[in-house]
Homo-oligomer: A and B are copies of this chain.
Amino acid sequence: MSGAATREQIVDAADRLFYHRGYEHTSFADIAAAVGLSRGNFYYHFKSKDAILDAVIEARLAGTRHMLEQWESQQPTPDGRILQFVEIVLTNGTDIQQYGCPVGTLNTELAKLGHTLHGQARGLFTLFRDWLREQFTLLGYGEQADDLAMHVLAFSQGVAVLSHTFRDEEFVRREVDRMRDWLSTYRK
């Protein structure tokens, strides 16, 4: 197998395992088994577990940037784009119920571990935060735009934590409806 393809497979498997089981709870053996590699060969591609985490975060950053670009081309209005973000807790409802928010749970875990890469992981939140702020600025709320962006982020995290804990889809639906109402008061 070519080096690049194997590396990509490792990052994909690690990404999924870190999300499903958590970073610390995932071992090299788990990732190697998922890819079909021996543990020994692993270190040819990544010299440490931190290096894999770094690659996973980079991949998630790239994936998020791509998703946000797609949302921008699919949704012509800023409020439509914000709503697209709000509804992610329904779109990815099954995963969030089972594993929580991939951004929130990674940040919480790395912050608690005092991990050096927590700063990198925080960048995932910043990506959404800046994008949401831009949409609120386009709606004419320049001064409060960052505040409003953080409010929408807080919504997503609150819903994700409780959805993960209680596995209640109706609760998620009600919270999205509430958010839709709130958002309509900010629509131009």
- A112-B20, A112-B105 given as contacts; is B154 within 8 A of A159 (CB)? yes
CB-CB under 8 A from A22, the residues of chain B are: 24, 109, 112-113
Q: Mark A141-183, 1 if CB is under 8 A from B, else 0.
A: 0000001001101111111011011100001001100100000
Size class of the contact patch on chain A: 35 or more
**A6 to B148 CA separation, bound complex (whole angstroms):** 49
Tell me the interface secondary structure of chain A in the complex: helix
Residue A108 interfacial (CB < 8 Å): yes
Residue A25 interfacial (CB < 8 Å): yes
Residue of B nearest to A118 (CB): B165
- A residues apposed to B, CB below 8 Å: 20-22, 24-25, 99-100, 104-105, 107-109, 111-113, 122, 125, 147, 150-151, 153-159, 161-162, 164-166, 171, 174-175, 178
